[in-house]
Amino acid sequence: MHTSSEFERIRQNLDGYLGKAVDARKQLLEQPYDAKQLHAWRVGLRRVTATLNSVTRLSDDGLDDVISHLRSCREVTGHCRDVDILVQETLPAFLRECPVIPPPAAVMQQAVAELQTQAHAQTIAALKKSSLAIPVQSWRHWAAAFDPPSERRLRENAAAVIDDRFNVMKKRIAKLNGGRKRLHRLRAAIKKLRYSVELYQHLFPKRATSAWLKQLTDLQAHLGRAHDRLMGRDLVATLELADSDQDPVKAFRRWARKSAYDASSKMAQSLTKLDKLSCFWRKTA
């Protein structure tokens, strides 16, 4: 019997990500809606879709169908997550930070609340169709049948995966143009890099991986803030309000753009710090 404590840790982590998504879905379907549970559902699935193919490529048998299904399950809940952030974080920040808010702000707030109610209903309906039973079974069957590789091969594979993620991130940084779509693509690349480092961190020096995870988390926070502000700006623009109720919407959109710019400036500072870190995965021999 072949055993590999290194591969077992990877398997347990992936099991944990899937388990958290399963638990979050159960809570969302059985309890009153909780935005934190939707976030847990999405993060659990994203961690798997960002890393599972890097594990299964060690075998001749992939799990592309499983990854595609999990990605679809996550994507159908994306709009609701964006609306939750608008209601719980972005709009309160605007009301708190904007010195003069044109009336009638209450009309805009009510319209946003109605948008959230609709999003919640749509998401619960989508979750009822998004069972993870078969994907979890497929992954566990693959892991049970897989003959774990050596620690050296695991480390070499991990280094290649992290390097690929790093190169994609650098390319997307070079293509930033101030738009939300390019920002979103960079944010996705940074998440994939971070989740890959987290999954394989036990294969590399702890100090090096900790430094990278700390800086990637900081970078992700600034990117997330900029993205959320721009997304909120777009969502508010879709509200069906009378012309007489548009003044607070215009004020919000001006504030959101400025707030996104401020977050982007902090992102640039974080990128500078990231550039100073050595690429620890390239030092494996």
Predicted model pTM: 0.93
**Mean pLDDT within 31-59:** 96
Residue carrying structure tokens 């500078």? 272
At residue 1, does pLDDT exceed 50? no
Q: What is the pLDDT of residues 176-191, one digit of tens each?
A: 887 888 999 999 999 9
The gap between the terminal CA atoms of the chain, to the nearest Å, is: 27
C-alpha to C-alpha distance for 285 and 277, rounded to whole angstroms: 19
Q: State the pLDDT at residue 284.
A: 55
Which residue ranges make up each domain of the chain?
150-280
Task: Report the CATH architecture of 150-280.
Answer: Alpha solenoid (1.40)
Structure tokens at 172: 């997307």
Q: What percent of the chain has pLDDT over 90?
A: 87
**Which distant-in-sequence residues (6+ apart) come within 8 Å of 161 by Cβ?**
51, 54, 196, 200
Structure tokens at 178: 């101030």
CA angle (160 as vertex; 154, 165 as ends), nearest 5: 125
Q: State the pLDDT at residue 104.
A: 83
> Would you call 15 exposed, middle or buried from its count of C-beta atoms within 10 A (0-12, 13-18, 19+)?
middle
